[in-house]
């Protein structure tokens, strides 16, 4: 993972080539622990992966019959190295995260008229943010449990607005 381009690089007048140069200049390898507990990149921006993992057509076809936790594991295991979070631990974190949802499908896809709709409101706070934050909260706990003594304490300060804010603080 590396920090995202600075805000000025997001402006329309900055060329794609400059953004590519910025990425080349800031080749920082950051571990999952640092990203999760650190929150923001050193430049106060967001972290982005070095590359986007891909799946073969056969892998995608096989996932058609997977449950939400199984699909989440297949995707997250491409981003989180087993040296940092062993596969069995990652699978457990994902499974625990999914138990907070009222629907066994976590985010079921339902037919609505002529289109399909993914329902993102089955989490504990009825907010779409529950999907990510249930996992993030359990990942916090996983990393904190690995620490010793006073390092086991974590204080999270967050600012939020709107009616979905409770999803950010309840896990």
Total Cβ atoms within 10 A of residue 18: 13
Q: Does residue 44 come out as left (phi exceeding 0), alpha (psi in the -120 to 50 range) or beta?
A: left
CA angle 128, 105, 80 (to 5 degrees): 70
Angstrom distance (rounded) from CA 72 to CA 165: 24
Q: Is 129 a catalytic residue?
A: yes
Catalytic residue among 129, 146, 147, 152: 129
Helix axes 87-98, 68-79, angle to 10 degrees: 140
Bridge partners (DSSP) of residue 116 are 111
Beta-strand relationship, 2-3 and 47-48: antiparallel
Q: What amino acid positions are annotated as catalytic residues? A: 129
């Amino acid at each position: 993972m590396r920090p995202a381009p600075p805000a000025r690089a997001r402006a329309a007048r900055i060329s794609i080539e400059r953004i590519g140069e910025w990425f080349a200049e800031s080749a920082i390898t950051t571990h999952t622990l640092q990203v999760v507990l650190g929150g923001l990149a050193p430049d106060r921006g967001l972290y982005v992966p070095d590359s986007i993992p891909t799946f073969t057509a056969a892998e995608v076809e096989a996932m058609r019959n997977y449950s939400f936790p199984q699909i989440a594991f297949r995707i997250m295991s491409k981003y989180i190295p087993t040296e940092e979070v062993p596969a069995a631990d990652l699978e457990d974190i994902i499974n625990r995260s999914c138990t907070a949802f009222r629907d066994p499908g976590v985010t079921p896809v339902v037919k609505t008229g002529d289109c399909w709709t993914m329902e993102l409101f089955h989490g504990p706070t009825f907010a779409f943010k529950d999907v990510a934050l249930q996992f993030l909260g359990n990942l916090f706990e996983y990393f904190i449990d690995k620490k010793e003594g006073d390092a086991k304490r974590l204080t999270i300060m967050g600012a939020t607005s709107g009616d979905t804010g409770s999803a950010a603080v309840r896990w």
